[in-house]
Structure 1
Amino acid sequence: MSSSSEELWPGDWNRASLGLCALQALKDGPSYGYAIITAFERAGLGTFKGGTLYPLLTRFETAGWVEVEWRAGESGPGRKYFSLTPAGVLELEQQRNQWLAFTQSTTAFLADDSNRGVSL
């Protein structure tokens, strides 16, 4: 998933959070793939390739979570812009709430020394 030889985070973590982060990147308005990838990098999430992001955005379009619009480029080729639909906004909110609850539980579990060495 990372285009560099060193991943900031384990690939499984990136795969698990990429969809949610892509929806979040579109929260404030339409954007295009390279800008979304740049936002991920600035946020410290790592470096992603378009070949990872674009299929995900296509699945979101099929699900009705994003709309696509082609815009002419100012000095180059046109760009494909993605924006959240009302269904996408609802999906973002649902996934964000689930993720926050999951990470809170995971963090609490990892911080609790009494969980170490527990056998079932």
Structure 2
Amino acid sequence: MAIVNVSDQSFNNDVESSQGVVLVDFWAPWCGPCKAIAPILEELDGEVSGQATIAKVNVDENPESASRFGVMSIPTIIVFKDGQPVDKVVGLNSKDALKSLVAKHQ
């Protein structure tokens, strides 16, 4: 599966109406740790395919979604299960930590 780019307009459809686990990365192009986590998420996407969807929200272009879920610093990853936020991690995390996060909500 490919990583899904989500906007304020598509958030409900792409994330909140989804069944299963969706990892949403709130990021911005100017954020160093966000750039560092991008290849980790790409790798993770290949490893959790079928178990979880990975989505990205650019907070500069989509401030509504970020403020709705209380994103104060980036990167913030919020885990949604069946459309509901169930977990949140802030900052740069390892692939193993993110993989554990997916497994925890299977």
Q: What TM bracket, shorter-length normalisation? A: under 0.3
Taking structure 2 as the reference length, the TM-score comes to 0.27
Query: Considering only CA atoms, is the larger Rg found in Structure 1 or Structure 2?
Result: 1
TM-score under structure 1 normalisation? 0.25
More helix by share: 1
**Structure number with higher strand proportion:** 2
